[in-house]
Structure 1
Amino acid sequence: MIILVTGAAGMLGQDVVAELARRGHRVLPMTRTELNITDLSQVRQVILSGQPDIVINCAAYTAVDQAEQDRERAMQINGLGVGNLALVCGELEIPLVQISTDYVFSGQKPGAYTVFDQPQPINAYGWSKLAGEKYVLQLLQRFYLVRTSWLFGLYGNNFVETILRLAQERKELTVVDDQHGCPTWTQDLARAVADLIATGRYGVYHVTNQGATTWFGLASAIISQSGFDTVVKPVPTSAYPRPAARPVNSVLDSFPLKETIGYLLPSWQDALARYLQLRKGGTR
């Protein structure tokens, strides 16, 4: 297939491009400078020129706290930009993969969120991502709407890298222990997306590494697996006031992923171990 990937220089985008190329697809990687998704005429020109069989949108505004003060920019990229892609893909009858987030949910549900639950964001970032989802649902018949969560990877700033850096600088870390989610390695997510688009079974999917934890639980695992003697202590979210509210529970239920691609992603603990090994120069 000819596959156009937006946000190709980002943390997820780089892994998606690499995975698709490894499988023999012809990939058209578009960085932010090569394709500004907020420019409808440019979106139409690039897609018409590339003639892709499918478009995967990895471009996003991801600064959750900054979005509270920069709502217009977040909405332009995550909302209207996705709308531009959906409009052009709809006109040309090209399927679109839209990467969304657990932060479209309020976090008030006691259990894991399913694809049937109604989104209700509690911060500007979540609202902007939900706007993008709505454009996809309204403008397209052939789409894969992929919600994921707590991403970490080799090619960008993320929680795992932050903890590894802080562990070298400090003897003690305090990390919030009352937000629950599913840490997900971008490489595992990229593989699942590549398998998903091969099925032709369009719809909404939740794609994360299996299992749930808190930021404290994830930090503790990072420290333990990396061999640091840094002490990690749990604290409530109230100890670290942030501009953007966070969902208390954004755990995602993966149904019907296994029924569609034949497997669930490995546990987040397994993904973390493989990620840390790769950072040390191990094999992919």
Structure 2
Amino acid sequence: MKVLVTGVNGQLGYDVVKRLNLLQIDSIGVGRQDFDITDRAQTEAYITDCKPDVIVHCAAYTAVDKAEDEQEKCYAANVDGTRNIVEICKKIDAKMVYVSSDYVFDGEGTDEQKEDKPTAPVNYYGYSKEQGELVVKEALDKYFIIRSSWIFGKNGNNFVRTMLKLGKTKDEIDVVNDQIGAPTYTKDLAVLICDMLQTTNYGTYNAVNEGYCSWYDFALKIFQLARINIGVNPISTSEYPTRARRPLNSKLSKDMLDKNGFNRLPHWEDALKRYLEELNNQLGE
């Protein structure tokens, strides 16, 4: 089996390639330096030459607030780029893993968002990921759509790194307390993706670390584990206006993982501990 992973320079793509290497599965990690996913001819030429059996599509435009003002750029990457990957998957009969987001949901109510709940994104980034999902579903039979949330990993910027930086320069900070979700470690998500792509249990999955918290709870746990003494004030979303609206309820049901026999990811607190250890080891290298 040969697996091509787009977005290798991002948090998830980096960890997927690392996991494939550990499993001794033939892999090719590609980034912007290899080809532009929004260029159909470039994408087709590169992938046809590689002839992968599976494409894990991690590359995406992920600047949620900027997307409101850069809609064309966001659409080009997340919809047109996905379509280019989908078309080549169809042509070479490759499986596809499409990485999506909790932002495809409106975040209404308090129940977990089930995989088959109708999507209703509240911001443009979420809309672009929803449209990417539709492109995959309409054209392919051999696909895995994986929706995740609140991602953090070694190879990139994320909420944890931001909090650690603020912990060095601030005495106190305000953090939103009414958006609920599951922080998800790319290393854990990569394990699931690499298990999944070796099966034919196709479909749409929610995949996040176990447990839920608010961004405020998440920040408190980061500072506790990192032994940083800082004041953290809980505030509401309305007190912290952002360019793009955020869903308040990003709790994702894992029914499809259970139904198809895939292991759930470890608890987010356990994941955070391991991530902070990884960051400390990185600093010590």
**What TM-score, normalized to structure 1?**
0.97
2:103 aligns with 103
Distance 1:33 1:128 in 2: 23
1:257 aligns with 257
SS at match of 1:4: strand
Distance 1:262 1:102 in 2: 19
What do residues 93-130 of structure 1 show as CA deviations (whole Å, max 9, x unaligned)? Answer: 11110000000000113211111101100101001111
SS at match of 2:238: helix
1:3 aligns with 2:15: no
1:68 aligns with 2:68: yes
2:148 aligns with 148
Distance 1:261 1:22 in 2: 22
Counterpart of 1:77 in structure 2: which amino acid?
A
Deviation for aligned residue 1:36: 1.0
- The 5-angstrom pairing of residues 1-284 of structure 1 reads 1-281=1-281
SS at match of 1:256: helix
Distance 1:109 1:155 in 2: 34
Please say if residues 199 and 260 of structure 1, whose CA atoms lie closer than 8 Å, have aligned partners that are also in contact: no
Please say if residues 16 and 187 of structure 1, whose CA atoms lie closer than 8 Å, have aligned partners that are also in contact: yes
Deviation for aligned residue 1:231: 1.4
Query: Identity of aligned pairs, percent?
Result: 39
Please say if residues 4 and 27 of structure 1, whose CA atoms lie closer than 8 Å, have aligned partners that are also in contact: yes
Deviation for aligned residue 1:46: 1.2
SS at match of 1:280: helix
Extract structure 1 runs of 4+ deviating beyond 2 A: 258-262
Deviation for aligned residue 1:261: 4.3
Deviation for aligned residue 1:90: 1.1
Please say if residues 192 and 262 of structure 2, whose CA atoms lie closer than 8 Å, have aligned partners that are also in contact: no
Counterpart of 1:198 in structure 2: which amino acid?
Q
Structure 1: which 5+ residue stretches go unaligned?
A: none
Distance 2:56 2:280 in 1: 30
Deviation for aligned residue 1:226: 0.7
Distance 1:82 1:109 in 2: 30
Distance 1:109 1:73 in 2: 32
SS at match of 2:209: coil
- The structure-2 alpha-carbon separation of the partners of 1:60 and 1:176, relative to structure 1 and needing over 3 Å to count, comes to same
RMSD: 1.2
Distance 2:65 2:78 in 1: 15
Counterpart of 2:228 in structure 1: which amino acid?
F
Structure 2: which 5+ residue stretches go unaligned?
A: none
Counterpart of 2:236 in structure 1: which amino acid?
P
Distance 2:14 2:103 in 1: 23
What do residues 246-268 of structure 1 show as CA deviations (whole Å, max 9, x unaligned)? Answer: 00111111112134344210000
Distance 1:43 1:114 in 2: 33
What do residues 171-203 of structure 1 show as CA deviations (whole Å, max 9, x unaligned)? Answer: 111100010111000000001100111122111
Deviation for aligned residue 1:67: 0.2
Deviation for aligned residue 1:277: 1.3
